[in-house]
A and B are shown apart, each in its own frame.
Chain A
Amino acid sequence: MWQRLIAIMDEVDDAIVRTSFSTIVGESRDFAYILTDAHGASLCQSSFSPPNFCVVLPRTARVLLERFPVETLREGDVIATNDAWIGTGHLPDYVMISPIFKAGQVVGFIGSVAHVSDVGGHAGDIEAADVFQEGLRLPPCKLYAAGQPDALVFEIIGNNCRVPEMVLGDLHAMVGTHRIGAVRVQEFLDDYALADLRTLAAEIHGRSERLMRQKIAALPDGVYTFGLDIDGYIEQVHLHATIEIRGSDIYVDYTGSSPQTRKASINCVYNTTYASTIFPFKCALAPHIPNNEGLFRSIHVAAPEGCILNTTFPHPVKARAKTTNNINQLLFGALWPLFGEHAQAGSGSIWPFTLAGTEQGYGRFLVDMLPHGGRGAVRELDGLAPIAFPHNSTVTPCEIMELRAPLLFVRKELRPDSAGAGRRRGGLGQVITLRNIGRSPMHLSIIPDKIVCAPPALNGGQPGRLGEIALAGEQITRFPALTLEPGAELELRMPGGAGFGDPRERERERVLHDLVMGYITEDGARHDYGLEPEALIMTQERVTL
């Protein structure tokens, strides 16, 4: 039954990819679907959904239900908000819930989060002094009431974004998928002759919570601390975690982390800090349990108000992923000896960017791409080549980017020598070079990370290589709204993942393989592993890989 509910979420997930209008939803998959019980507690998510969204949505749902109590809801209602403190931490993310009715009663909610292409606001992504500059804030409201769209809400959203066809198209498409999901859940209830989801929810939550508690109880009690310096913006940021394992509960406290800032939109609301904390524990302790709220109940997260991980309104928040994406590295840094093969070294980070402009033949265009650097290594496996972590998104194909904007992708390749060395090396970063082949300048906004502080390694491994960005041939380290002139190129040299374990323990065959595949150069072999290429080639004659 559980798997069927997941399959329903996967079906609506697929449906939005096919009915969406934008690259950020349809090509980058920057959205999530979650099924909740009648109280807003999550039961399952679609398989590809980003984890943070899935952990936040239930929290948002409960706030929305305070505003619109469940007894006042009708079939066809869709409640939504993009408020950063109630939702997922920045304005482009619209959170929606639709009640599922059975025999006149609300039995659950279809919930979704989607990052829409544009919410108005200022042009850059990082340099802002408050959240008002970042775009339109929609307080909790009914997007649809009893099946009818709210004309005023859609007008205001449409009039306050640069690409209204894309944004409104995506919002309406999501509402359509909610309807599909609701019908499927109703069919499911009929098939199993269930009046509601209560019993199933209790099983899912109960068993998940018990399992998580068993796993936690098996860990040694104690207090574990760790500190990590991360890029921040203009000023470096320090994250600090104190983790107490006590019986079957875990308490994480971020006191000692840097305070919030008005100079950069890298502040994190509590919801995203909470979600980013839950995820590594789930990965390490309960990797095979489908995500649901039962798994979170034994993990408690605290951050002082005014800390960068619990920012107060109206601090700027657009680029909070630059901070939250490092939380897993902080937690693994503290607890890796307890997690065995489930601790991961630091990853190369996400570098989301948007290009927008107007060009004959393309009209007013806006394209998004969410590339990642290499993933960190774990004890037994090299890090994966660029893949989303800790997010869960795909990368807009070059072909689609080139179809929708006057761009040419000159290069998109793995970046040799970018991986952090180790007994298990990190995943390689990538190099992406693209050129404006139109006649007009394009607006570029980008949020890079790991250009100052490298992805941290574990257990004697080496950090991943720092990233670099060049715009029209010049290296840049500041990221206000930028312009990509006609003919100019943007080059992204993305960071590699960090390594796990002493590089000197890396098997020679693996090093040779890396050399042969071009993942490391001869200089890299010497520098990272202390091995001469000739010595490696002799190895090849003895062992086939």
Chain B
Amino acid sequence: MSASLDPITLEIQWQRLVTIADEMDNATIRASFSTIVGESHDFGCVIMDHSGAAIAQAQLSPPQFCTMLPITTKHLLRRFPVETLCEGDVLVTNDPWLGSTHLPDYNLVTPMFRDGKVVAFLGTVAHVSDVGGHLGDLEAYDVFMEGIRVLPAKFYKAGEPNHELIEIIEANCRVPENVLGDLRAIVGTHRMAIKQLAEFMDDYGLADLAELSAAIQDRSEAALRRAISDLPDGVYRHEVTGDGYLTPFTLKVAITISGSEMHFDFAGSSPQQWDAAINAAFNMTYATAVYPIKCMLVPHVPNNDGLVRPLTVVAPEGSIVNCTFPAPVKARAKVMKHIPPLVFGALASLLPQEAIAAAGGIFPFHMNGDDPRFGRFNVHVLPHGGMGAMSNADGHPPVAYPHNSTVTPAEITELRSPVLMLSKRLLRDSGGPGRRRGGLGVEYVLKCVAHKPITLTIRPDLLRNPAPGLFDGMPGAPGAVFLNGQRLERFVPISFHPGDVCVLQIPGGGGYGPPREREPELVRADVANGFVSPEAARDIYGLEL
């Protein structure tokens, strides 16, 4: 551990790194072309040291991206060893097994040189609008159907675009201006961040980031180890069941706490599925398993790779949480989102104040097509359901969890696609009842106002197995999808005809604690706000109004 960095200097320098990452984030939003990057914020920015270890992330970045990106960087460096890199190189891959586990996620990593040697890496992983392949998200039998796969390659070579690769990427996506626009914008943000890092290092007279990186990671590791050591050793297990798509699945975890380390074993989880694109490659399982630990034990430490050192994860190869090539993977969030409730469920008895009940989860949809008013359009919206409750807080109304994304505003959706948002409202009684109530779910009503049919692809979850509660809290309401009044059970791309109306009911979060223990004034406030019906207040919360 470094002795020469006093706490104040460390904090200032550390925060400055985070700020640089935040500026990358900001610049990415402003320079992007697509709704999924610019409006849904489905990207992450990470600053890594010379070995590819994460030392800072942008604060709004999705957590899994930030844990996976350093892993991907090490794969990229295996293919392009650091001594072979030049200034102006940008490395790229979207391979699900090396990267962030489905093809739309492009990883771009740029080395930073200082006095002729690599001192850092800037990394961004972004979900791009389209990678060719089929328009559905769920019904696939292998990854080849899902789009173009780019194994580690150079997106830029010594500052010059790799035209050959760019032409091929362009030829294989439906909205090349969006996709290449986003990717080039990201390269620009890396160049900007390199300038800022250089200024930072000049300001503090740093030749490289080695000492700062060691300080950040070692102290973070120590903080987490202290927190783990305070917990009793033992094996803590839990199990959850998810809808899956055609077939439900079960996830099992055994978390072994031993001294200052934690080991996660997913043995017993269901096997991968070859008829639904819900399989999670290992990177995602790893990144999602460690995240609740950070939330619970060291919430105030800015994320960096020091925080994963005491944590190890294993999952059986060929299971739905460690799928093998070429399994279909587009909709792996349908499995991934169940990992936090699995981990919180296992450790809730140890950490009742820090555990969070299950969330309603992500319920993405996207519209594609051609229209004279909009050109070839491609609009993504990433709504979430309500968040789970905690011991001392009701669940938030719809907010991203465990992802970190925003929701394309209705105005932008309507500006960029021939779809009218007739309504967007919280769903009464959808929050899982509890002493602390789960966050409400939300309903979207969409109407097609195009002149000819367009494609609407929806990826729902928690339609059959709603978000469970904790400590006798009740589950949130399940989700549902209706097209022109008919409930949908299968989710192939929908031919959305002019005048058609689609209703998306996005699930609520799970409750915490018995509903009958909820304070009456809170129940009354819920009823007054329209969050809970008088009938539910009476029948579930036991309060006569």
Contacts and interface: CB of A to CB of B under 8 A. Distances in A.
Contacts of A121: 133-134, 144-145
Contact of B493 (A123, A129, A141, A162): A129
Given A129-B455, A133-B133, A138-B171, A162 B150 contact: no
B171 A83 contact: yes
A152 B165 contact: yes
A392 B150 CA distance: 35
Contacts of B149: 159-160
Contact of A133 (B135, B141, B153, B168): B135
Contact of A162 (B132, B133, B144, B151): B144
Given A132-B132, A153-B164, A160 B455 contact: no
Counting chain A CB atoms within 10 Å of each CB, the highest count among B144, B170, B174 belongs to B144
B167 interface: yes
Given A136-B172, A139-B168, A159-B149, A481 B141 contact: yes
Range, interface on chain B: 20 to 34
A197 B183 CA distance: 47
Given A120-B144, A156-B150, A159-B151, A139 B171 contact: yes
Nearest to B274: A441
Interface in A117-136: 118, 120-123, 128-130, 132-133, 136
B174 A314 contact: yes
B181 to A, nearest CB: 18
B500 interface: no
A137 interface: yes
B142 interface: yes
Nearest to A132: B132
Given A141-B167, A155-B151, A132 B174 contact: yes
Contacts of B289: none
B173 interface: yes
Contacts of A152: 153, 162, 164-165
A190 interface: no
Interface of chain A, helix or strand or loop or mixed? loop
B47 to A, nearest CB: 29
A132 B176 CA distance: 12
Contacts of A83: 171
Nearest to A314: B174
A150 interface: yes
B234 interface: no
Interface string B118-138: 000000000000101111000
A162 B167 contact: no
A177 B205 CA distance: 62
A122 B151 contact: no
A443 B153 CA distance: 32
Nearest to A441: B274
A231 to B, nearest CB: 22
B148 interface: yes
Interface in A364-396: none
A121 B103 CA distance: 13
Nearest to B95: A159
Given A83-B171, A152-B153, A122 B134 contact: yes
A118 B141 CA distance: 15
A133 B148 CA distance: 10
Interface in B302-352: 326
Contact of B168 (A118, A138, A162): A138
Interface string A197-238: 000000000000000000000000000000000000000000
A155 B153 contact: yes
Contacts of A123: 141, 145
A133 B171 contact: no
Interface string A128-170: 1110110011110100000000101101100111100000000
A140 to B, nearest CB: 9
Contacts of B165: 152, 156
A161 B455 CA distance: 26
B174 A130 contact: yes
Nearest to A130: B174
A117 to B, nearest CB: 12
Contact of A159 (B134, B141, B150): B150
Interface string A158-193: 011110000000000000000000000000000000
Contacts of A128: 134
12 contacts: A120-B133, A121-B134, A132-B173, A138-B171, A139-B170, A141-B168, A152-B164, A156-B165, A159-B149, A161-B144, A162-B144, A162-B326
Interchain residue pairs A-B with the least CB separation, the first 6 = A120-B144, A132-B132, A139-B171, A137-B171, A133-B134, A122-B134
Interface of B: 95, 130, 132-135, 140-142, 144-145, 148-151, 153, 162, 164-165, 167-168, 170-174, 326, 455, 493
Given A121-B133, A141-B164, A152-B164, 19 more contacts: A83-B171, A120-B144, A120-B145, A121-B145, A123-B141, A129-B135, A132-B133, A132-B172, A133-B134, A136-B172, A139-B170, A141-B167, A153-B164, A155-B151, A156-B168, A159-B150, A314-B174, A443-B141, A481-B141
